[in-house]
């Protein structure tokens, strides 16, 4: 049972692991061709086991998986040349902003303690 589960998961991942998942279908607009680019992550796990007690036998298994697709940008091809245009990542910006706020709050707290000790 566990072997079948792993084989099924592997087959499904192989079926979707294609270059077109990372590089989308080209889109042609006039003399410009745009190719979407994404980062794709596959994660999965599975397990199973057999057990037997006197007069009873059992077997079980389970698995799960996840696919994460994150847009990175587009490749733009024109008669003048080729360039990569990144997508604005709002999650990363929010994380950096949160980190900056935390650092400023920490520095402000230290400064206030410093002022209290000087009195």
Q: Is residue 40 pLDDT above 80, yes or no?
A: yes
81 pLDDT band, cuts 50/70/90, is very high
Query: What is the rounded average pLDDT of the residues 31-42?
Result: 89
Average pLDDT over residues 22-44: 88
The average pLDDT across 56-64 equals 78
Q: Is 74 exposed, middle or buried (0-12, 13-18, 19+ CB in 10 A)?
A: buried
Rg (CA), the chain: 26
Query: Is residue 118 predicted with pLDDT exceeding 90?
Result: no
Tokens of 18: 């294609």
Q: pTM for the full model? A: 0.53
Edge to edge, what strands does the sheet with 81-86 contain? 27-29, 32-53, 56-78, 81-86
Burial (CB count within 10 angstroms: exposed 0-12, middle 13-18, buried 19+), residue 61: middle
pLDDT at 45: 76
pLDDT band at 18 (very low <50, low <70, confident <90, very high): low
Q: What per-residue confidence (pLDDT) applies to 110?
A: 94
Q: How far apart are CA 29 and CA 96, in angstroms?
A: 35
Predicted pLDDT of residue 107: 95
Over residues 18-29, mean pLDDT: 81
Mean pLDDT, rounded, for 5-11: 75
Spell out the alpha helix ranges (H) of the chain: 2-16, 19-22, 90-118
């Amino acid at each position: 049972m566990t072997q079948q589960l792993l084989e099924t998961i592997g087959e499904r991942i192989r079926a979707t692991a294609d270059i077109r998942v990372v590089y989308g279908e080209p889109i042609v607009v006039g003399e410009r061709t745009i190719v979407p680019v994404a980062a794709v992550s596959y994660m999965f796990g599975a397990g199973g086991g057999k057990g037997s007690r006197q007069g009873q036998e059992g077997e079980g298994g389970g698995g799960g998986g996840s696919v994460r697709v994150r847009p990175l940008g587009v490749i733009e091809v024109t008669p003048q040349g080729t360039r990569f245009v990144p997508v604005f990542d709002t999650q990363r910006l929010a994380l950096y902003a949160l980190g900056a706020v935390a650092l400023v709050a920490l520095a402000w707290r230290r400064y206030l303690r410093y002022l209290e000790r000087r009195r």
